[in-house]
Amino acid sequence: MRADGVSLGKLLLALDTTLVQLIQAPRGLDLPVASAALIDQDDVALGLAAGAGAADVFFLLGLHDVDAMRWIDRHGAAPTAIFVKKPSEALIARATASGIAVVAVDPQARWERLYRLVDHVFEHHGNRADAWYDSGTDLFGLAQSIADRVHGMVSIEDAQSHVLAYSASNDEADDLRRLSILGRAGPPEHLEWLSQWGIFDALRTSDGVVSVAARPELGLQPRLAIGIHHPAVDQRRPPEFAGAIWVQQGSRPLSEDAEEILRGAAVLAARIMSRLAARPSTHTLRVQELLGLTATEVDVGAVARELDVVADGRVAVIGFDTPSHHSRLADILALSASAFRSDALVASNGSRVYVLLPQTSRTTSVTSWLRGTIASLHAELGLSLRAVIAAPVAGLGAAAQARSEIDRALDSAERHPVAFGEVTSLAEARTAVLIDEIVTLITADDRFLDPRVRELRDHDPVLAETLHAYLDGFGDVAAVAERLHVHPNTVRYRVRRAEQLLSTSLSDPDVRLLLSLNLRATV
């Protein structure tokens, strides 16, 4: 991820001590930070880890101390900071000696959660005094404004209970708030209690403020909550539940007008969430422009400079078809792509997620990463994904055309999944795609359908299927008979009978082509 920049101090202030804690900053907190990359143990072991000059801050995912220190020593240009879970004294000392700030990440934090928040900070590059914290334009600003006004700790969640924004925390934050911010599910006993008392149902079905009593035995502090609702397009339907605002009370009582403030905050939150859903970030918009997903004419060179990537040279474009019900999959794929390549560009469009990899001359490692990612998501989340890769592509200027070709392949794969593997190159898919599109055109227009084929299908579907198999099998009677589990003479008889009913001869290549396409179109 890359943007115009924000100081390290402002970045840490925005992330809050719930997620991160500064250990050392040998060069101070005023150094600019504009990009982040991820490195895991496999990257180091395989020699794929990005150089220090490729990003300002690095997230070190599961690196052993020895490998982390070797990585630091290997690069002359020190990054601004490294983010590590449970950094050792040796690693802290080595990083500090190299002028690198060390930021400890809460061990229970999800890396994809931290990645998204850092991306958000980069996008708005502000602090609590800037427009990024303006309650009229940003959920973080709204959360902090509510907290300041009602004297509580605020979090704003979506309909799936994922935390979207939160105010500053203090040492009175309970486990439910802390773990929710870290991207982890709340303690099961807490969630079960809230569910049993109908709290979640009340938030979904009512526009009133819900009071949640303290449960000292669970360490659960008192709360107020209110549902966020979008007006339904059809006025006859109830409003659509979009999320909730939670206010945890600390030792200081909430303000007397806290419920009134929350009712107004729910209206503002609904407006902001609607705008955010309709408006992609500047970074995402630029990637969408490169991929031809907008109607805007693109100055490829200018966009490349803005994204800090090289416009020339061969690139790779990858398209994923994702389950539409999985709301976080685009973020998870972005996390994986950025761990693989710090300059990876990711954008989504509906159920499709696209990864653009600049300067990719060899596709072996890309294909290996693709297969590994798909296998991991299947093993860990039970998801079945399909990907199509276009590579090598002649520069960023050709990325839009490549993405269009990938969409054609993914569309065909939706109609005929058996013809495509989990990972398919554009070259491998081209024949299947063109045949599928031709057959689709024939199916959509009766003028292209030979009525004799339709009559054969209706009159004797067994003859039609045998003829279809015969044409697909290049007239190899023995192979077709084995496939259909019949005697070769049966195949010969059925083919002759089909010729008679169609009043034609299969000795004519044009007839064979026409019948083959029509038989595919009338299945």
Which residues are 314's β-sheet partners? 394
Query: How far is Cα 503 from Cα 83, in angstroms, rounded to an integer?
Result: 75
Q: How would you write the pLDDT of the chain (523 residues) with one tens digit per residue?
A: 444 568 898 888 878 888 899 999 999 998 988 888 888 777 666 665 555 456 889 999 888 888 888 888 876 678 899 999 999 999 999 999 999 999 999 998 888 878 878 877 776 554 444 433 444 457 888 888 899 889 999 999 988 888 888 888 888 888 888 888 887 666 777 778 888 889 999 999 998 999 999 988 888 899 999 999 987 666 667 888 999 999 999 989 999 989 999 998 998 898 888 877 766 677 788 899 999 998 888 899 888 888 878 888 899 999 998 765 565 677 778 878 887 887 889 888 888 899 999 988 778 889 999 998 898 888 877 888 889 999 889 999 999 999 999 999 998 888 877 778 888 888 888 888 888 888 888 888 888 888 888 888 888 889 888 888 888 888 888 988 888 899 989 989 898 988 888 888 888 888 888 888 888 888 7
Q: Where are the beta strands (DSSP E) in 126-230?
A: 153-158, 163-166, 209-212, 223-230
CB-CB contact of 379 with 341 (8 Å): no
Residue at 133: amino acid letter? Y
CB-CB contact of 262 with 226 (8 Å): yes
Q: What's the whole-model pTM score?
A: 0.53
Tokens coding 490 = 């049966």
Which residues are 32's β-sheet partners? 7
Q: What is residue 272's predicted lDDT score, i.e. its pLDDT?
A: 84
Any idea what DSSP says for residue 368?
H
Query: How far is Cα 349 from Cα 347, in angstroms, rounded to an integer?
Result: 7
Write out the DSSP string of 382-407: ----EEEEEEEEESGGGHHHHHHHHH
Which residues are 204's β-sheet partners? none
Tokens coding 163 = 């935390």
Q: Which residues lie closer than 8 Å to 342 by C-beta, 6 or more apart?
A: 35, 37, 38, 50, 54, 55
Query: How far is Cα 330 from Cα 165, in angstroms, rounded to an integer?
Result: 19
Query: How far is Cα 201 from Cα 319, in angstroms, rounded to an integer?
Result: 38
Tokens coding 464 = 């039609």
Query: How far is Cα 283 from Cα 290, in angstroms, rounded to an integer?
Result: 11
Tokens coding 47 = 């020699």
Domains belonging to the chain, first-starting first, are 6-124 (3.40.1390.20), 139-278 (3.30.450.40), 282-433 (3.30.70.270), 445-522 (1.10.10.2840)
Question: Is the dihedral angle over the CA atoms 432, 437, 438, 442 positive or is it negative?
Answer: positive
Residue at 210: amino acid letter? V
CB-CB contact of 32 with 5 (8 Å): yes
Task: Phi first, then psi: give them for residue 403, nearest 5 degrees.
Answer: -65, -40
Torsion of CA 203, 205, 208, 212, to 10 degrees: -30
- Cα 396 to Cα 4, 239, 365, 367: the distances in Å are 21, 43, 20, 19
Query: How far is Cα 10 from Cα 16, in angstroms, rounded to an integer?
Result: 10
Question: Is the dihedral angle over the CA atoms 238, 143, 254, 189 positive or is it negative?
Answer: positive
Tokens coding 350 = 């509906």
Query: How far is Cα 358 from Cα 305, in angstroms, rounded to an integer?
Result: 12
Task: Phi first, then psi: give them for residue 378, nearest 5 degrees.
Answer: -70, -45
Query: How far is Cα 392 from Cα 403, in angstroms, rounded to an integer?
Result: 13
Q: What is residue 2's predicted lDDT score, i.e. its pLDDT?
A: 46
